């Protein structure tokens, strides 16, 4: 009796179990198909077996797996994990100038094909920093196996950041000695080397420095798989993108077009400020750059103030007035020091006054000279002349000239005429001589 009861309970339990188990299939068509396998429905369960009658794949599109790139090789699918695009941004202060540095790269990084993109933006500028140029871009990483930092990639560039809002871009390949097909680096850092002119009181001091941006502190994964195709587009309309025979992207700069970072023939600061720089430099206290008829020229940044110096003095037998007029600032090659020498009194024994030469000197340096041999015989006689001031390589130079007048005076003392040679000097005020040519 007990045996029959146990058998009855077992049968009931089995019936309940079967009723609670969902049937996976009734026929083979109820089962999902897997490429490269055959399927059949056995006891309501889908059973898969490898098919030896056909290949796993015939083309790359047959190999599909989420998060992976599939490649059909010899009828079998090979899968590699799809790289994830990493984006790193940083702001760096460069002697008062604020640079925005952004970089994008794949992780994992295929050194056989991938590029590391760099974009640099001039976010803030200052007046005492000019001609900021990016000269070199390096990528450095720490090799934990060799226990040393190595350069993973390096490119020489010449990219200008003239004014706030300017953006420059560059794509760099990583190329370093390797014996393995994959690996990792730590402390991968972008190094941007730059040059600039530090401007102070009209003079420029050329300097260079660099900024460092950490791209990956812990792990930068790389591998090397030779590509079989490439799609090249650096999103720059001024480059020609192409795929070479090794399926590596090339970006060739378009020539003879404004915006390619090269100041080419036919371009200047007024026709293409992006390549040649803006025409707005301040060159000292009195000179600036300005566009005139599509050419960048130096012009005065302030109005000229006329200066007049009058010197009256008595000599033996005569009196002379010297009047000097000039502009300050003084434009070399255009302005002159206007000099008038007037005989306003003389004794009867003085027969004539001859002005021989008039000079402008600074120290022992002769700035300009005019030979006259002008006779002043009667009161009211005048010698009129103009003296230039020389230009210089700097846009502005301060000079403190003095006027030197050489003369001969003829007197008759009753025993015959005598001729005496002499000179006199008169200091002028400080003059700012500017060069606009």
Model confidence at 34: pLDDT above 70: no
Q: Are 243 and 228 in contact (CB under 8 A)?
A: no
Predicted local confidence at residue 128, as pLDDT: 83
Maximal CA-CA distance, the chain: 180
Alpha helices (runs of H) in 21-100, residue ranges in sequence order: none
| Count of residues making up the chain | 437
Res 27 pLDDT > 90: no
Residue 44 has pLDDT above 70, yes or no: no
Q: Is the pLDDT of residue 414 over 80?
A: no
pLDDT tens for 344-357 read 999 999 999 999 99
Give the pLDDT of residue 51: 44
**pLDDT of res. 231:** 79
pLDDT given at position 7: 52
Least confident of 44-58, 71-85, 366-380: 44-58
What is the domain class of 305-434 according to CATH? mainly beta
**Lowest pLDDT segment from 235-244, 332-341, 361-370:** 235-244
Listed in sequence order, the residues at least 6 apart from 316 whose beta carbon sits closer than 8 Å to its beta carbon are 409
Structure confidence at residue 38 (pLDDT): 61
Rounded to whole angstroms, the Cα distance separating 425 from 403 reads: 5
Average pLDDT over residues 264-288: 89
pLDDT (0 to 100) of residue 368: 96
pTM over 0.85: no
Q: Average of pLDDT values for 155-160? A: 92
C-beta of residue 115 within 8 angstroms of C-beta of residue 136: no
pLDDT over 60 (residue 365): yes
Assigned CATH topology for domain 84-226: Immunoglobulin-like (2.60.40)
State the Cα–Cα distance between residues 373 and 368, nearest whole angstrom.
16
The residue-averaged pLDDT of 248-267 equals: 88
pLDDT attached to residue 72: 82
What confidence tier does 328 reach under pLDDT thresholds 50, 70, 90?
very high
Q: For 82-91, 234-243, 367-376, which range has the lowest pLDDT when averaged over its residues? A: 234-243
Higher confidence at residue 167 or residue 232? Answer: 167
pLDDT at residue 18, rounded to an integer:
44
**Where in the sequence of the chain do the CATH 2.60.40 domains occur?**
84-226, 305-434
List the one residue out of 210, 211, 243, 212 whose CA is nearest residue 229.
Answer: 243
Q: What is the pLDDT of residue 20?
A: 45
Average pLDDT, the chain: 85
């Amino acid at each position: 009796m007990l045996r029959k009861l146990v058998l009855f309970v077992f049968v009931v339990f089995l019936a309940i179990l079967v009723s609670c188990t969902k049937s996976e299939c009734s026929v083979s068509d109820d089962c999902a198909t897997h490429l490269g396998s055959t399927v059949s429905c056995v006891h309501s369960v889908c059973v898969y077996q490898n098919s030896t009658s056909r290949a796993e794949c015939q083309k790359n599109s047959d190999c599909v797996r989420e998060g992976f790139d599939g490649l059909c090789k010899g009828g079998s699918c090979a899968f590699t994990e799809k790289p994830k695009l990493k984006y790193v941004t940083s702001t760096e202060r460069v002697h008062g100038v604020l640079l925005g540095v952004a970089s994008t790269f794949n992780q994992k990084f295929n050194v056989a094909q991938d590029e590391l993109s760099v974009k640099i933006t001039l976010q803030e500028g200052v007046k005492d920093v000019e001609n900021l140029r990016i000269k070199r871009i390096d990528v450095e990483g720490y090799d934990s196996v060799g226990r040393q930092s190595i350069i993973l990639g390096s490119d020489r560039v010449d990219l200008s950041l003239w004014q706030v809002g300017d953006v420059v871009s560059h794509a760099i390949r990583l190329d370093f000695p390797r014996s393995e097909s994959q690996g990792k680096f730590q402390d991968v850092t972008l190094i941007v080397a730059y040059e600039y002119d530090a401007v102070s009181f009209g003079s420029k001091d050329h300097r260079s420095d660099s900024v460092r941006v950490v791209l990956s502190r812990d792990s930068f994964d790389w591998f090397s798989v030779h590509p079989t195709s490439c799609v090249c587009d650096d999103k720059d309309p001024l480059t020609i993108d192409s795929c070479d025979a090794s399926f590596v992207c090339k970006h060739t700069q378009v020539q003879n077009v404004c915006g390619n970072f090269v100041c080419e023939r036919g371009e200047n600061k007024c026709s293409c400020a992006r390549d040649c720089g803006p025409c707005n430099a301040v060159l000292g206290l009195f000179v600036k750059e300005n566009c005139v008829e599509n050419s960048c020229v130096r012009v005065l940044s302030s109005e000229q103030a006329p200066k007049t110096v009058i010197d009256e003095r008595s000599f033996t037998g005569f009196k002379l007035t010297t009047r000097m007029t000039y502009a300050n600032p003084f434009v070399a090659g255009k302005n002159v020091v206007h000099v008038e020498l007037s005989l306003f009194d003389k004794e009867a024994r003085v027969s004539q006054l001859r002005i021989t030469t008039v000079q402008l000197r600074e120290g022992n340096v002769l700035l300009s000279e005019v030979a006259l041999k002008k006779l002043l015989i009667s009161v009211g006689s005048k010698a009129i002349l103009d003296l230039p001031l020389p230009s210089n390589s700097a846009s502005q130079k301060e000079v403190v000239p003095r006027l030197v007048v050489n003369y001969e005076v003829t007197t008759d003392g009753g025993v015959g005429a005598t001729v005496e040679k002499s000179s006199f000097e008169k200091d002028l005020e400080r003059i700012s001589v500017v060069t606009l040519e």
